[in-house]
Structure 1
Amino acid sequence: MKNSLDGRLWLGRSEHSFLGKGRIELLEQIERTGSISKAAKAMGMSYKAAWDAVDAMNNLSEKPLVERVTGGKGGGGTVLTPYGKEVVETYKVLQEEHRRFLHNLSLRINEKDGHLRLLKNMAMRVSARNQLSGKVIKIHKGAVNSEVVLQLQGNDTVTATITNDSLRDLDISIDSQVTALFKANAVMLSTDPDIKLGVENRFAGRVERISRGSVNAEVIVALRGGNTICAGLTNAALDELGLKEKMDVVAFCKASSIIIGIY
């Protein structure tokens, strides 16, 4: 049985919910009917709830999305402003990109055993800041897998190994804007700047912050190009390395530990 992903797209403003599927449908009904009351009835919601939603959107928007009009054949009504119409169309574009992203992730998690664990790890690493956005500058295609090299901020690069099927399904090519995601325990740290490891990704940086728990610790490393990555290690390993804030370190990560996503 194959797994699939589903999700909702919400846009926020100043930590408040701004636009979602329901509000977009309300705006579309207002545009179609020219009336808040008719739009609310079509949506199966109260007149007050519809106006509350409209007020919230107008208050959070740079320009009003909905306005009252007076006079005319019908004695007036409620319409979308030109900016409101533009916002609806923009949301539809974002919604389509969101749908494509979920579809591509659905393909990715069904590639091999442990797919649900892969998704869980990816979600955890997003919260740990290990999501590096960049532009594809090189693709080394093999018989089964491809190495994809991303240009990050500054002169930093990151290399990911993905299947040729994923390369095709995600429609990745030179200059594509993608995001590399990897979990914290896939990152190895060293204080020796000359150390050599057979690992594709090597990042030079400085320890920005250390969060120590009862057993494990997270180390945030600021890269010279401006990105940050999070490394997870045991407290024993932390003590053995003698890591402290502002210390120069080298971080390593295997290309096979990195997932590529397109938003």
Structure 2
Amino acid sequence: MEIDGRFWLKKDGRSFLGSGRIELLNMIEKTGSINAAAKEMKMSYKAAWERINGMNELADEPIIQRKIGGKGGGGTTLTPYAHELIKTYDRLNELHRQFIDRFSEAGDSPELLSKILKRTFLTTSARNQIPSKISKIDSNELSSLITITLSGGSEVLSTITSKSANSMNLHVGSDIYAIIKSSDIKIYAAPPKETKDLNLLEGTVESLESTDLNSELALRINEKTLLITLLKKDEMDSFSVGKKAYAGIAYNNIIVGL
């Protein structure tokens, strides 16, 4: 047996967005016409319009906009609001898929599913909990060096005990979380000369927030990876929003979570 589930977004108790409706919106954007989109999806114009009308009734803003005349003879395009809806749906749908995939590890074992549920809803105080995948494991009797590919494609190394790696049944391809305390990330304005046992990630300062005691810096590594770290007051002047910076994380400061 396999665990499966459909993903829908509802509003006011009514179905709002699902995979078919998102496909229709994307096809309208591609073809520039509701009629052409309906033909591509092998449905009637009436059925396509009913879906669009149903979404428009629930949406906070219009989803489509008409183009009258012009070189191409007019047509239909999506509004900026519709593009944001598609992005939101796609992200939530991907998280839902990952959620179902994790449950599928249980097969037909309720006991194993219970363990997976407990791991899934575990909460930690660490600010950085990054969905990742194991791409390599080098082990000896005492320790394992785990190569982790973060969401977004950046790679880091984590050192854990071999007993932990075995008890967690870690293997190449395992979906994990790279968990990093903000206090365990050192931010550099320029690459440090000594990088032994240190992961170094280049990024751009996205935000800085200050208090009387310290400051919080958000470093954008890529579209999917944002690191949060703390700075002392006397370190503030070395960084500014939009400037390049480097995050240094010791191998043994990256916790592997399932």
TM-score normalised according to structure 1 size: 0.53
Q: Is the 8 A contact 1:135 1:151 kept in 2?
A: yes
Q: 1:237 to 1:102 in 2, by over 3 A?
A: same
Q: In 2, Cα distance between the equivalents of 1:99 and 1:198? A: 37
Aligned partner of 1:165: which letter? K
Q: Is the 8 A contact 1:218 1:233 kept in 2?
A: yes
Shift of 1:225: 5.8
Q: In 2, Cα distance between the equivalents of 1:243 and 1:157? A: 24
Q: In 1, Cα distance between the equivalents of 2:161 and 2:246? A: 28
Which position in structure 1 is the counterpart of 2:194?
196
Q: 1:134 to 1:103 in 2, by over 3 A?
A: closer
Q: Percent identity?
A: 19
Q: Is the 8 A contact 2:130 2:151 kept in 1?
A: no
Q: In 1, Cα distance between the equivalents of 2:232 and 2:139? A: 36
Task: Pick the aligned partner of 1:166 from 153, 164, 167.
Answer: 164
Which position in structure 2 is the counterpart of 1:26?
none
Runs of 4+ in 1 over 3 A off after TM superposition: 58-63, 93-98, 100-105, 193-196
Aligned partner of 2:125: which letter? M
Alignment of 1:251 onto 2:251: no
- Where 2:169 maps in the other structure, the secondary structure is coil
Task: Pick the aligned partner of 1:176 from 167, 174, 177.
Answer: 174
- Where 1:123 maps in the other structure, the secondary structure is coil
Aligned partner of 1:243: which letter? F
Aligned partner of 1:199: which letter? D
Aligned partner of 1:167: which letter? A
Q: In 2, Cα distance between the equivalents of 1:173 and 1:137? A: 8
* Count of residues in Structure 1 that have an aligned counterpart in Structure 2: 165
Q: In 2, Cα distance between the equivalents of 1:256 and 1:226? A: 23
Which position in structure 2 is the counterpart of 1:100?
116
**Deviation by residue 1:127-180 (Cα, 9 ceiling, x = unmatched):** x3x112121111010221111111124441121111112111211101111111
- Where 2:197 maps in the other structure, the secondary structure is coil
- Where 1:214 maps in the other structure, the secondary structure is coil
Q: In 2, Cα distance between the equivalents of 1:97 and 1:160? A: 27
Q: Where does 1:229-240 land on structure 2 (aligned, <5 Å)?
A: 229-239=227-237
Shift of 1:253: 0.5
Q: In 2, Cα distance between the equivalents of 1:202 and 1:172? A: 24
Which position in structure 2 is the counterpart of 1:137?
135
Q: Is the 8 A contact 2:150 2:178 kept in 1?
A: no
Structure 1: unaligned runs, 5 residues or longer = 1-12, 17-55, 64-89, 106-118
Structure 2: unaligned runs, 5 residues or longer = 1-7, 19-99, 105-109
Shift of 1:99: 2.2
Aligned partner of 1:252: which letter? G
Q: In 1, Cα distance between the equivalents of 2:178 and 2:229? A: 15
Which position in structure 1 is the counterpart of 2:84?
none
Q: Where does 1:1-263 land on structure 2 (aligned, <5 Å)?
A: 93=103, 96-97=112-113, 99-100=115-116, 102=118, 123-125=124-126, 128=127, 130-193=128-191, 195-224=193-222, 226-239=224-237, 242-262=238-258
Aligned partner of 1:124: which letter? S
Q: In 2, Cα distance between the equivalents of 1:144 and 1:189? A: 30
Q: In 1, Cα distance between the equivalents of 2:17 and 2:223? A: 33
Q: In 1, Cα distance between the equivalents of 2:159 and 2:194? A: 20
